[in-house]
Structure 1
Amino acid sequence: MNTPCTVWRRFVSETEQIAQAKRGDDAAWVALVRQHQEAVFRLAYLLLGDADDAEDVAQEAFVRAWRALDRFDADRPLRPWLLEITRNQCFNWRRSARRYLAALGRWGADEPAPVDPDAQLAEAWQATVLWQAVRRLRVADQEVIYLRCFLELSVEETATALKVAPGTVKSRLSRALQRLRERIEHEWPELREEVAE
Structure 2
Amino acid sequence: MTLADADDRALAARAQAGEQAAYAMLMARHRDAVWRLARGHVGDADEALDITQDAFVAAFAAIGRYDGSRPFRAWMARITLNKCRDWARRRAVRRFFTLAKPIDDAVHVADLTASPEDALASAEGVTRINAAIAALPFNLKEVLLLRTIEAMSQADTAILLGISEKAVETRLYRARAKLTEMLRGGDDDRV
Task: For residue 168 of structure 1, report the CA deviation from its aligned partner.
Answer: 1.4
Q: TM-score, normalised by structure 2?
A: 0.74
**Structure 2 residue matching 1:119: 3-state secondary structure:** helix
Aligned residue number for residue 165 of structure 2 = 166
Q: Unmatched 5+ residue regions in structure 2?
A: 187-191
Percent sequence identity over aligned pairs: 34
CA distance in 1, matches of 2:158, 2:47: 25
Q: TM-score, normalised by structure 1?
A: 0.72
Aligned residue number for residue 4 of structure 1 = none
Task: For residue 12 of structure 1, report the CA deviation from its aligned partner.
Answer: 6.6
CA distance in 1, matches of 2:92, 2:141: 24
CA distance in 1, matches of 2:69, 2:153: 16
Q: Where do residues 28-177 of structure 1 align in structure 2 (5 Å cutoff)?
A: 28-96=22-90, 100-101=94-95, 105=100, 107=102, 109-110=104-105, 118-120=117-119, 127=126, 129-177=128-176
Task: Give yes or no for contact 1:15–1:74 (8 Å, CA) kept in 2.
Answer: yes
Change (3 A) 1:122 1:90: closer
Q: State how many pairs are aligned.
A: 178
Q: What RMSD in Å do the two structures reach over aligned CA positions?
A: 3.4
Q: Which has the higher contact order (CA 8 A, sep 6+)?
A: 2
CA distance in 2, matches of 1:125, 1:110: 10
Change (3 A) 1:104 1:140: farther
